[in-house]
Amino acid sequence: MNPAKTIDYAKLFDLSDRVALVVGGGSGIGQAGAEGLAALGAKLIVADVVEPDAHGVAERIRAAGGAATALHVDVRDTASVETMIANVMRQHGKLDFALTTPAVNLRKRLLDYSEEEFDRVVELNLKGTFRVARVCARPMMERKRGSMVLMSSIRALNVEPGQSIYASTKAAIAQLTRGLAVELGPHGVRVNALAPGIVATPLTQPITSNPVWNEAYAKRTALGRWAEPEEMAGPIMFLASDASSYLTGTTIFADAGWTAIDGRFEPQLKT
């Protein structure tokens, strides 16, 4: 380190004047990420297929003193994704950060999956992520800077019955992240993935509404509990900021130890 150089470390997290797009920002982890990024000074574009939800989150951000607008997007539709990025560029002229969250989990055993169901999950989770990453990469590459976060999951590493197809898309997204990082790195663009554990959102409502399943999942973590969506905001804010300037192609597991624990057996240990 150069002793003559003084670094304002607190500034590393400053997102003032940064333009941040959150696709899927109308709910859950996307909403928390959008609100967190705005709190660090970013100008937010909240995009979602449920337009009133996107507007609601943008309104919450403005009410808290931040800057945000809302857009409709359907990540299953290439034209819609292209229109979204055109609107972002028209409004702001640049894009510093993008997070994309939309995904569906159809919990069924592999042999019960129809091809239509397979296509539905892969189309939204994997191809939707690809579409958003592709349109966001272009303006970032032109400016030779930018950061993207794609949503993986603990399911990229381990599965349970009924999770095969969802888990496959989440593993694919971790690999898409690596591939993009390799290709975009020379252009100054970073790409990382976030792999949450169990977060109480509409996506996981079928689990949290089942007391036995809910409790079993909580116990499976080292911290013994579910996450609130806002607990995913920290890693998103970090990956958006210059505090993570040397991170690319990695997956951050925010899982309360889910993937650290090897099974559920607690051995009796001598003191």
Q: Residues interacting with ligand NAD, by CB under 6 A? A: 24, 26-30, 48-50, 53, 73-76, 101-103, 124, 151, 153, 196, 198-199, 201-204
- Find the shortest distance in angstroms from Cβ 100 to ligand NAD: 8
Q: How many of the other CB atoms lie within 10 Å of CB of 65? A: 8
- Find the shortest distance in angstroms from Cβ 124 to ligand NAD: 6
Catalytic site residue 113?
no
Name the phi and psi angles at 2, rounded to 5.
-75, 115
- Find the shortest distance in angstroms from Cβ 95 to ligand NAD: 17
- Find the shortest distance in angstroms from Cβ 26 to ligand NAD: 4
Q: Which is nearer to ligand NAD, 124 or 184 (CB)?
A: 124
Which residue's CB comes closest to ligand NAD? 28
Distances (CA, A) of 164 to 105, 106, 111, 118: 10, 10, 10, 10
Cα separation, 170 vs 161, in Å, equals 16
Grouping H, G, I as helix, E, B as strand and the rest as coil, residue 70 is strand
Q: Which is nearer to ligand NAD, 28 or 146 (CB)?
A: 28
Catalytic residue (one of 9, 113, 166, 217):
166
DSSP secondary structure string for all residues of 228-258? PGGGGHHHHHHHHSGGGTT--S-EEEESTTT
Q: Which is nearer to ligand NAD, 19 or 199 (CB)?
A: 199
CB of 97 within 8 A of CB of 37? yes
Q: Which is nearer to ligand NAD, 70 or 124 (CB)?
A: 124
Element spanning 137, H or E: helix 128-143
Which residues participate in catalysis according to the annotation? Answer: 166
